[in-house]
Structure 1
Amino acid sequence: MSASGFRPVFHPAGHDHALRHALQDLRAGRWHEMARLLQETADTGGWDGWTRRTQILATVAAGTDVVHAWRAERPGSTAAEVMLGRVAVERAVRAHRAGHGHAPALRAEASTACREAAACAPADPVPWIGLLALAALDAGHQPAEHRVPPPVPGLPPAPWALLAEAERRDPYNREAHHRMLQFLYGRGEGPLSEAVTYAHWAASVAPRGSALHALPLHVRVERYRRDRGHERALDLHWVAEDAVREARRAMDAWFLFCAVPEASQLDLNHLAHALSGALLFTDAARVFEALGPYYTAVPWAHRTPRPADRALAEEVFLRARARSLTG
């Protein structure tokens, strides 16, 4: 806790109180509030909230059988079918990261679930986003579907057709582009030049107010994570001319036009991190104020000697916040 008594809070729902209630219901083994929330989300007609809420719900539902119970009781529910795909992908991703022997079987199961959801909900981008997430687990990138020629020169072969399917349903979908970024990260521990090119290309074609303007901030953190050495003056990474330019662009082209309560907490934390690192304290203060009490361990954890230590990440966040609000 800081000297002022402020303490940051990590909660996946952030400012989304309706999602918070659904998560509480889900943790108690009930699906009704989740179903009600997703019906309400679908009725608003926007894919941003649908994509974000289904992703966060799946992170909790993946450890339960609640979605299966939902579909068993409501076999005609399209939302339940989409959530089954979400849960299957989340389980496959976790198994892959943990190196479990059954990870390939879970990937195949998740792919089937996503394609069934795509057939059930043909207008929904989420099943295609799920297939993009699974593509990022394919270390060898063997399937032809994952080696499609790029839409513009300078980018590598990748699952562009899957991205196009998601984009056809929801242009500039935030999660779809982040899933593609994860695919490019997985191409090796190299200098990330492909990911840098991709992030800047995606941001350059995105409209004002799009979260894709924050993509370069994520890549810069990943570059820092891979290149850092504790003996170096690492703070110089964030005041370089291109770093300042990326931070300003995300502020001016995205933050000033977005619906902040509905924005990704990760994006907001990356922007606050980039602006404070670039010594743009007035702008950073606006982002910290928009965040309220909520924070995410990444990117702050990568500014510590032990990224797995959440307490250290919290300290870095608090120092940056205090310096921005008083600077």
Structure 2
Amino acid sequence: RAADARDARAETLERIALSACDRASAADPADPTPWVAKLAMARLHRLRDPAPHGLLTSPPGPWRLFAHVLSLDPWHREAHHRFLAFFFTRHGGSVNAAWDVAAFLAQRAPAHSALRLLPLVALVESYDPARLLADRVWEQPQWRSTALAVHRDWLPTVAGYRFTPVLDLAYLAHALILARREAEARAALTAMGPYASRMPWCVFGDPAGQLSRARRACGLPVPP
């Protein structure tokens, strides 16, 4: 946050954070958490390791750091999201690179994993309201089928989660709403229980208003 705000203390704060990560990883080498924190800071230095084979755009990035996290926890949710964020345009990446990386990561994840949502996360990140029919992109077969597959394979597993995966459910519900699949979106919104998140709704306007509109479209009550 300090770096994004161009805070003069950003460099000092980063050194402190990196030092803390080093101490934490030395204390418990099997814990991926400090390495995930380093992934979050990788965009500040634009680490440019060559991409593995299989990506159309072959975008350079912190691939070695990410690979180390995967060696500790191959399906670490936060690591995947932090890594994908490195390729967002607002962090110096490109739309095509973000889509490419999101597809690559999602395809290697198990069908019942929330990581299958990553292409939908990249799609939200690339949203440009100035583009013609920007809100209709989610109706395209590739995005609709992605959302429906996650609804089919991942959503039934949510009941077994210790904590409600609110953000993942929000991305799924949002994609299904824009894909005109209100019945499936209703199930995702219901699974959120009394919780809500700002993302992805805030990308499209006032988050409370966007979520309320989605709930109404699904026939769900809107909390006062």
Structure 2 counterpart of 1:302: 203
Alignment counterpart, residue 53 of structure 2, candidates 149, 152, 167: 152
Q: Is the 8 A contact 1:136 1:179 kept in 2?
A: no
Question: Which one has the bigger helix percentage?
Answer: 1
- 2:5 is the alignment partner of 1:98: yes
Larger radius of gyration: 1
Structure 2 counterpart of 1:317: 211
Structure 2 counterpart of 1:217: 120
Unaligned runs of 5+ in 1: 1-93, 305-311
Unaligned runs of 5+ in 2: none
Q: What letter corresponds to residue 184 of structure 1 in structure 2?
A: F
User: What is the CA–CA distance in structure 2 between the aligned matches of 1:102 and 1:221, rounded to whole Å?
Assistant: 31
Q: What letter corresponds to residue 249 of structure 1 in structure 2?
A: A
- 2:174 is the alignment partner of 1:280: no
Flag as ranges the 4+ runs of structure 1 deviating above 2 A: 151-155, 186-190, 232-235, 256-264
Distance 1:240 1:260, change over 3 A: farther
Identity of aligned residues (%): 36
For normalisation by structure 2, the TM-score amounts to 0.89
Relative contact order, higher structure (CA 8 A, sep 6+): 1
Query: RMSD across aligned C-alpha pairs, in angstroms?
Result: 1.8
The number of aligned residues is 216
Deviations 1:217-266 (A, max 9, x none): 11110111xx2228x44321221222212211221232223435534321
Deviations 1:75-101 (A, max 9, x none): xxxxxxxxxxxxxxxxxxx21122101
Distance 1:263 1:195, change over 3 A: farther
- 2:72 is the alignment partner of 1:169: yes
Superposition pairs for residues 174-213 of structure 1, below 5 Å?
174-185=77-88, 188=92, 190=94, 192-213=95-116
Deviations 1:159-213 (A, max 9, x none): 11111111111111111011111111155364x1111011111111111321211
Distance 1:208 1:262, change over 3 A: farther
Q: 2:200 aligns to what SS in structure 1?
A: helix
Alignment counterpart, residue 270 of structure 1, candidates 171, 174, 182: 171
Deviations 1:117-145 (A, max 9, x none): 0000111010110110110233xx2xxxx
Compute the displacement of 1:274 (Å): 0.4
User: What is the CA–CA distance in structure 2 between the aligned matches of 1:314 and 1:261, rounded to whole Å?
Assistant: 26
Structure 1 counterpart of 2:40: 133
Structure 2 counterpart of 1:54: none
Distance 1:101 1:183, change over 3 A: same
For normalisation by structure 1, the TM-score amounts to 0.62
